[in-house]
Amino acid sequence: MSAPARNTSTTITKPATWSAHWSSLRKTLSPTPRRIQLVCTLAVSAHLIHLVASACSQILQADLGQPAALTRSNFMSGFGRDLILIFIGYWLVFGWGVAIGLHRGISHRRLSSQSIGMWICTYLGTLSALGRPMEWAIVHRVHHQFSDLPDDPHSPRHSGFWRVFTNTWTLSPTQQRHLAKPSLARDLITSRPIQFFQRHYWSTIFVTWVILFAVGGIAAWVTLGAWPVVLSLLNTSIINAITHRHGEVRDLPGLALLSLGETYHRAHHLEPSRQNYSGQGRIDLTGMTLDLGDQLQRAFMILRKRIRPNVSMSAHVHGRTSAPTTATVQSVPTTQFPNFNNAHPHSRKEVIS
Ligand SMILES: [Zn+2]
Ligand SMILES: [Zn+2]
């Protein structure tokens, strides 16, 4: 997978460089980190077999009254500890990295482009190995534009259910042309966190995995490195393939808690720019986390304003602070990004400019 052009923030805004950048970016769109996903899947499969085998072994020994039987201390030092680490890795990488970061934060601009929150969530999203942040967001924006139509990059109806589910869909020349429109990513390309992780994608994953291995050995890498990759991939497969399976987007409320609210997919297509889909019987953990972040940010700004009355609150809202900002969409003129937040299915006739 070749890296996009190494443009700087001062040159990428020039029209001539846009063209060069997008020519380069287009070549990087199809390949996803499938080798990483394959390695992680093999590691997770082996680990799963080990967990089941050790659980069965302890249960059998409990029946026989042996010392290695399933007790509370054995559980917490064995597969119970692994399950907790897997949950933490999943929550951080899928919840914060994909659901909050790549999806709602970057693709739908619920995070301020230069904020600490954007740095953290883009880093965690990179660890999901679902693709570079800019490509992920652009593909998703095109998906909203053309959902369930032939130009949808990953429509089960047009690309095939299993190709979408296994994440092996490829882009047609027409789809690649849609993806190569600079207007889809003017806000992304000037974001320093996105620039950084776009350029240092592989090294970020590799260094993080080396640190995990150095600190906790193979167990830390499997639980906090490989498992989150596989679970993020599985969630994405379910959302892309099953919620769009018959060419009509639908919700999967039964999986909403596990997907942290991301399977309220019909609601999302109807109101893509909405932050929280909770209500009417829905529990959207991702949206609730974003709302909580907003409230904490407001409280932080009010407190800071009282301590330092001369500090402009708008400076924080516009992401020029180290506060972990979330809902700062209003800082970006909506007219600058005209189409990707359109609601489904009324956006179908819209054409990307
Ligand atoms: Zn969709
Ligand atoms: Zn979306």
Is residue 285 included in any domain, yes or no? yes
Q: How far is the CA of 113 from the centre of ligand 2 (A)?
A: 17
137 alpha carbon to ligand 2 midpoint, in Å? 9
Q: Which residue has the tokens 């302890």?
A: 58
Residue-wise pLDDT for 58-87, tens only, equals 777 766 666 555 565 665 566 788 899 999
Q: How many CB atoms lie within 10 A of CB 265?
A: 23
What is the pLDDT, as a whole number, of residue 232?
A: 96
Centroid of ligand 1 to alpha carbon of 267 (angstroms): 10
Highest-confidence segment of 80-84, 90-94, 175-179:
90-94
The structure tokens listed for 234 are 């599985």
CA of 109 to the centre of ligand 2 (A): 10
Residue-wise DSSP of 151-219 = T-TT-HHHH-HHHHHTT-----HHHHHHHT-GGGSHHHHT-HHHHHHHHTHHHHHHHHHHHHHHHHHHH
Peptide bond connecting 324 to the previous residue in cis, omega within 30 degrees of 0: no
The predicted model scores a pTM of 0.78
Higher pLDDT: 98 or 332? It is 98
Distance 204 CA to ligand 2 centre (A): 25
- Is there a contact between 308 and 280 (Cβ–Cβ < 8 Å)? no
Q: Ligand nearest 146 Cα, by number?
A: 1
Check if the beta carbon of residue 137 is closer than 8 Å to that of residue 104.
no
332 CB-near residues (< 8 Å, 6+ apart): 109, 113, 187
* Digit-coded pLDDT (tens) for 211-262: 999 999 999 999 999 999 999 999 999 999 999 998 889 999 999 999 999 9
Maximal CA-CA distance, the chain: 75
Q: How far is the CA of 111 from the centre of ligand 2 (A)?
A: 14
State residue 340's pLDDT score: 44
Is there a domain that residue 45 lies in?
no
Measured in Å, residue 268 CA sits from the centre of ligand 2 at 6
Q: Residue 142 contacts by C-beta under 8 Å, 6 or more apart in sequence? A: 151, 152, 153, 175, 178, 179, 184, 340, 352
Which residue range is the domain that position 244 belongs to? 85-349
81: closest CA among 55, 61, 63, 46? 55
Q: Which amino acid is at 51?
A: L
Measured in angstroms, how far is the CA atom of residue 305 from the centroid of ligand 2?
Answer: 34
Total domains present in the chain:
1
Q: How far is the CA of 143 from the centre of ligand 1 (A)?
A: 6
Q: How many whole angstroms from 96 Cα to the centroid of ligand 1?
A: 19
d(CA 144, CA 269): 7
Nearest to 24 by CA among 54, 51, 3: 3
Within a domain: 2: no
Tell me whether residue 116 is in a domain.
yes
Residue 40 is assigned to a structural domain of this protein: no
Non-local (6+) Cβ contacts of 238 within 8 A are 165, 252, 255, 259, 263
Q: Is residue 26 part of a domain?
A: no
The pLDDT-based confidence of 210 (bands split at 50, 70, 90) is: very high
Residue 314 CB partners (closer than 8 Å, separation 6+): none
Query: In angstroms, rounded to a whole number, what is the distance separating the alpha carbons of residues 120 and 92?
Result: 10
Q: Nearest Cα to 274, choosing from 254, 253, 260, 288?
A: 288
pLDDT at 286 over 90: yes
Distance 154 CA to ligand 1 centre (A): 9
- 344: closest CA among 259, 242, 203, 243? 243
Q: Which two tokens stand for residue 331?
A: 């800082």
Q: What's the 280 CA to ligand 2 centre distance in angstroms?
A: 20
> Is the model's pLDDT at 346 over the cut of 60?
no
Q: Residue 5: inside a domain, yes or no? A: no
Is 95 domain-assigned? yes
Ligand whose nearest atom lies closest to the CA of 241: 1
Q: How far, in Å, from the CA of 232 to the mean position of ligand 1?
A: 16
- pLDDT beyond 80 at 326: no
